[in-house]
Structure 1
């Protein structure tokens, strides 16, 4: 008997159908010789600091850095039931070995490792590594299971990535929050990404537009221009001199140009094009692609490769045929040309997973079962796959130079010789999704045919006014591109670059920035908020460096390949924490008060923000924090006492305060005691009393 553990129930079901595990049990499926269960994504994650030591419940700068000696994992409350099922299965005496069938990538490796380690199991591990949930792919993968140890380096890289994010996020967030008395969230990858948004906004805000002029000649239908004349007097002179004059064709050049088909999709390119064509966010695209993968309609989406392996040549031909059959891209009459499959085959450029393509399953699938976004993403992938194996787009580029009054004007045009793969771009312009060129667009870039020395008489000249344009704000498309290439200039030419994050994590990084209210979507644009700008303003360069973060991603890749030891990577992260704390130590006291608008009564025990007195309570100045001390609260009012500023200040400073004039209704007397306060991570406050050694007397008994 062997146990298969997948990442999600839907994937488990697909595997179970292939290997014959059809009997439904609580939390798993069972067959004659196998059991298939699932994880519900990340079942276990690293615990927060206060789980290591209760004193970390309060955010104190002097407690930093927090670096666990031994990392602890905890299962989230809503997933405990499934974890205990897995734990029991992983330790069943009749289970000979375990198959890790979580998604074939860094995160899938981490999900399995955390569950396996927490279970205490010592069963041998084998790895199912597939790029498609088609039955044939699962069957082949199960017949060629790899030893779990083969992916040891990948698991180490996954662990280091998760621990590095914890260390930087927890320590930097607490450090800057306690220094500035305001909740400031800092992340290893999200902060450099935010820095790019802020820098772009600075470029836009600081841009000074300049006026310039173009002079346009109409030479019997040939439109030639002299562009970007910044001197108004010069533009005026050229315009007036040329108006009604003669012009002569100085030069005609024709060059044949070829545009190769695009590469197949990796995840980032898919997300960029879905944003450009459909306006979808990166997260929406990832969610739709993951769902299509689980429904066996596309191959594994979390890939950074844009090629297929050479052994997939016949598969690729079948897929192209099925796409045409299903979508009828050429209409019912025209037959598609034979796909040029070899253009997308390159074993050297496929590491863990090949590019994203549809599977042959789409031919029989009822598309009405798909949600709208899923249908759009599947169509986008299908058409793009056909484009990638299409013919080259070939055109003649024609450049004409016209001389008029010793001024040179230029005209450009082109004539398409072979439309090739670009015909399929029409699928997104036509309502019926067909690859048919609009007759109105034919020849739109052409120019009148002329020859050298041809003369034009009484030409018409027009002066037009323009302004230089600032850089455009980032869209999801351009931000993903910037994240992918961040730091590239600083790397050696042959370095295998990763940029900020990975294809699988970039969407989540953008969503975190928006959830933290450091960035906001405005149409297709992603803009930094005022809070985002301020955060980047106060942080040191090394925490917002895209180059440093890209270098870490590169080191994680080297770790996957066995070229870097985990300890070496983590030492670098710990050095970064030291640099960060040294920077915090050097912040002038007046600078730390930049967010303080009025006198505070103390520091919030939950987030480290400043606590202020309001009309009815003492509240945390951090809007994201719910901590407060009510002046009239049930606990104290039962003893006929209200919270005052002195009591609040002492509670925030020491966690307790000595209170006099408390009244006991039961004993009908006044007494004094130490009031203690505890606040949980959600800001909920509980009180308790303890009594000083000296006993109270009844001399203050009510009359």
Structure 2
């Protein structure tokens, strides 16, 4: 309490006046209250004689154009572009609006005469606070608490050195510039490209963004390399050699080899001529060889502590977790279980005053977790004289910390973690323990065997001291240990073999490798200043990269197959468009590099905010102008000829920017019917079978998603709209039979089960499953259900299960038309044979969702009313 009173005397005027401290997260508000002491806890805030403490929960407000500048989806046209408002309004984020109201109420309290910005020490923290103050029209003076460490001592020291609001104005300017510039480029770029792609009718949503689109470009460029890759034959020569102590292997290599950027496939052990390889085999077979050997010690340090991106990479590589899932698990371990520190960090270091905290944390791990006990004891006892926890710039370095420090375990002992949570927690704990261990020590041996003037290399590595590897269970290792040879020993070649191989294309990106590429995107930037500005930032931030990847997946720019990320036809079409329009700003990381460099200058007070925003407005004008004035029917690009011939005349069908068109007759179909781009294999299937589907991802003119079967229908010869084309593309929504006067003939089709209403047979028909008695003018039953319900495909197998067992399996890809949010549910039959949703039962209040015992339970779903299910459809 003494600290609190001392601070209040120095900074609070008036006998009953109080300062309102606003943190970025509830956990930080709680830490501040504990450090200062003397607080009473209320529902949404803490209060003492001198202070009120409350918090945001991240961003509570988002910027938006004033209403008169807002154009609703479906009316996006060049006539309404560019959108460059003279100012930005603020709009509460619906999910966190209640928290915003709490802060507004506290700001307006009569006894609050001062605000203290205790949001995270960085650009986004500054923006979060200032938008709250702006929205609440706060009249109070503001001071800044700048913390890089959350120890009680650091918090108290921070309050004794509060910074003036004006000191942080350049940082606030940079934060607003980043936010507003992202909005301008994203909104105008997306609407301009959507307007361009929707010229022929319909609504082809084409989203672009400063980070999203360069990230997509990285994936597309890799896929282009793979598609264009032509494998080259090469040969290796491998030999087995007999020594007194045993047999070892060696690979031929050229001692004179030097890397050449012009020959990226060249290696010291590759031969491009089969004849040359055969001559080596002939020269060395059944010959004696001499041996020379060099052994030297090598060390390997433990990896650094995790930041979010490195944690996401490691979890993806080890467990296949997506970046989004890893972030969600880490957030749960931080917020709900309180066993990890804040995960949305870009730092791999700890504050320099954290030695005592680390010591206590490792003691705690040893006491409460048997699997870590021996490692904790080893670290704390060190070499028998002193602990291994000591000042080390690789671990403790304030200069390597911005808003948050590295992810490490807390003093809380974990209880009832789910299996994925336990895996991630263990990953963080072992990395944390390993970083204090000494380096692993190896003996590395390189053996050269010379036979008939040709050289064969054999390499071995023996683990001498495991060091940090022991934390991962590698106490001893001799996988590459070589059998010994004596000095000057002559060896006999046992076999010399020729191995024919082919060069391989580059690997597709996984989430782990794409996260690495985003993190190191600066390497693609030529300008030194921009590259330096991006060195710390890359594309996106650790907190946003998972959302960027998920956004690309949601917009169907990329697909996830196993662990690979594969760009779609829509992605290639976007890259073709941006390249053709010469909008390189949106395809390369240079834009982010330029921004980060200039934002850095703004933070330093060397560049004016207005100057930066004028440049952004000019760039926005240029992007819209290029799209608006491009008047050619097609865009230059690398197009293909389909393998399947024209269904009308049998000649070749070629691709251009907008269509697949026959080179001979008038047959042509859109590449993007209903705003959904055909993949090449889908176009081939359509031409071959005259039908494909159901397919999802189509959008109406107002931007609403729908599913349909696509058909090629024959055109009457006298149809003036389609002269000589033979076929036209049509949507089949599966409801064309509803008003037909003729009964559908189901002869030859497989019945899926008995109708729950009339016991007739259920059949698949177009985009629906329908009762045989629900057709024709005298139909006696109304049972039917769609093949796609709220963007969730319903397979024939699930319909069979519904008819036999009364409900489907748990289906995970429903998406509400009203809110756009995804949800999981069962489709289930009620007593009257109607179909509704059933949802998983909620976990009991005292248990946590995701706990091991919960995951094995058999929840009894709660049935939703039919009216709700129907309304959602």
- Number of aligned pairs? 603
Report whether the alignment pairs 1:456 with 2:499: no
Change beyond 3 A, Cα 1:54–1:305: closer
Distance apart, 1:288 and its partner CA: 3.3
Residue matched to 1:35: 52
Q: Secondary structure at 1:96's aligned position in 2? A: strand
Alpha-carbon distance in structure 2 between the residues aligned to 1:56 and 1:467: 51
State the alpha-carbon separation in 1 of the partners of residues 446 and 550 from structure 2. Answer: 46
Residue among 81, 94, 116 paired with 1:64: 81
Structure with the larger helix share: 1
Contact 1:56 1:63 in 2 (8 A): no
State the partner residue of 2:226: 204
Alignment correspondent of 1:551: 594
Match of 1:517 in 2: 556
Q: Which runs of 5+ in 2 are unaligned?
A: 1-17, 199-203, 253-268, 636-655, 661-667, 678-695, 705-816, 820-873
Q: What is the deviation of 1:223?
A: 0.9
Correspondence 1:566 to 2:633: no
Specify which of 163, 172, 181 is matched with residue 180 of structure 2: 163
1:484-506 CA distance string (max 9 Å, x none): 11133524389342221222222
Distance in 2, matches of 1:200 and 1:599, equals: 29
Q: Is the 8 A contact 2:120 2:404 kept in 1?
A: no
Tell me whether 1:254 sits opposite 2:295 in the alignment.
yes
Q: In 2 relative to 1, CA 134–367 (structure 1 residues): closer, same or farther, beyond 3 Å? A: farther
Q: Which moved more, 1:476-485 or 1:127-136?
A: 127-136
- Conservation of the 8 A alpha-carbon contact between 1:132 and 1:300: no
Task: Flag the 1:397–1:36 CA change in 2: closer, same or farther, 3 A.
Answer: same
Per-residue CA deviations over 1:663-683 (Å, capped at 9, x if unaligned) read: xxxxxxxxxxxxxxxxxxx99
Partner of 1:487: 522
CA drift at 1:444: 1.0
- Separation in 2, partners of 1:608, 1:66: 26
Aligned residue number for residue 352 of structure 1: 402
2:90 maps to 73
Matches within 5 A, 1:204-243: 204-220=226-242, 221-226=247-252, 227-243=269-285
| Residue 245 in structure 1 maps to residue 294 in structure 2 | no
CA 233–120 in structure 1, closer or farther in 2 if over 3 Å, else same = same
CA 1:305/1:80 → structure 2, altered by over 3 Å: closer, same or farther?
closer
Aligned ranges 1:272-671 → 2 under 5 Å: 272-294=313-335, 297-328=339-370, 332=374, 335-336=378-379, 337=382, 338-339=387-388, 341-343=390-392, 344-345=394-395, 347=397, 349-353=399-403, 355-358=405-408, 361-362=410-411, 365-424=412-471, 426=472, 435-437=473-475, 442-451=477-486, 453-457=488-492, 459-488=494-523, 490-492=526-528, 495-496=532-533, 497=535, 498-539=537-578, 540-591=583-634, 594-595=657-658, 623=699, 626=702
Using a 3 Å threshold, how does the CA distance of structure 1 residues 323 and 207 change in structure 2: closer, same or farther?
farther
554-563 or 200-209: bigger deviation: 554-563
Do the aligned residues in 1 keep the contact of 2:521 with 2:538 (CA within 8 Å)?
Answer: yes
User: Aligned partners of 2:626, 2:195: CA distance in 1, in Å?
Assistant: 14
Question: Structure 1: any 5+ residue segments left out of the alignment?
Answer: 427-434, 610-619, 629-681, 685-703
Per the TM alignment, residue 472 of structure 1 is displaced from its structure 2 partner at its CA by: 0.9
Query: Aligned pair in 2 of structure 1 residues 39, 304: CA closer, same or farther (>3 Å)?
Result: closer
Check conservation: 1:264, 1:355, Cα contact below 8 A: no
Q: Secondary structure at the match of 2:443?
A: strand
Alpha-carbon distance between aligned partners in 2 of 1:346 and 1:12, rounded to the nearest angstrom: 24
Change over 3 Å in CA distance of 1:335–1:11 after alignment to 2: closer
TM superposition shift of 1:263: 2.6
Q: For 2:611 and 2:96, how far apart are their aligned partners in 1?
A: 34
Could you tell me how far 1:195 is from its partner in structure 2? Answer: 0.2
Contact 2:74 2:702 in 1 (8 A): no
TM-score, normalised by the number of residues in structure 1: 0.77
Return the alpha-carbon distance in structure 1 between the equivalents of residues 366 and 67 of structure 2.
58
How far apart are the structure 2 equivalents of 1:331 and 1:569? 55
Partner of 2:42: 24
Are 1:7 and 1:41, in contact at CA under 8 Å, matched by a contact in 2? yes
Kindly state the Cα deviation for residue 172 of structure 1 after the two structures are TM-superposed.
0.8
Q: Which of the pair has the greater relative contact order for Cα pairs under 8 Å at 6+ separation? A: 1
Structure 1 counterpart of 2:210: 188
Q: 1:115 aligns with which of 111, 126, 132?
A: 132
Shift of the 376–565 alpha-carbon distance from structure 1 to 2, 3 Å rule, reads: farther
Change (3 A) 1:307 1:42: closer
Distance change in 2, residues 1:335/1:63 (3 Å): closer
Distance 1:355 1:469, change over 3 A: farther
Deviation (angstroms), 1:144:
4.9
Matching residue of 1:636 = none
- Post-superposition offset of 1:91: 1.9
Asked if 2 retains the 8 angstrom alpha-carbon contact of 1:265 and 1:356, the reply is: yes
Q: Which residue of 2 aligns with 1:700?
A: none
TM (norm. structure 2) is 0.63
CA offsets 1:87-123 (integer angstroms, 9 cap, x no match): 2321221112223333443323222221210111111
Distance 1:451 1:563, change over 3 A: farther
Q: Which moved more, 1:239-248 or 1:321-330?
A: 321-330
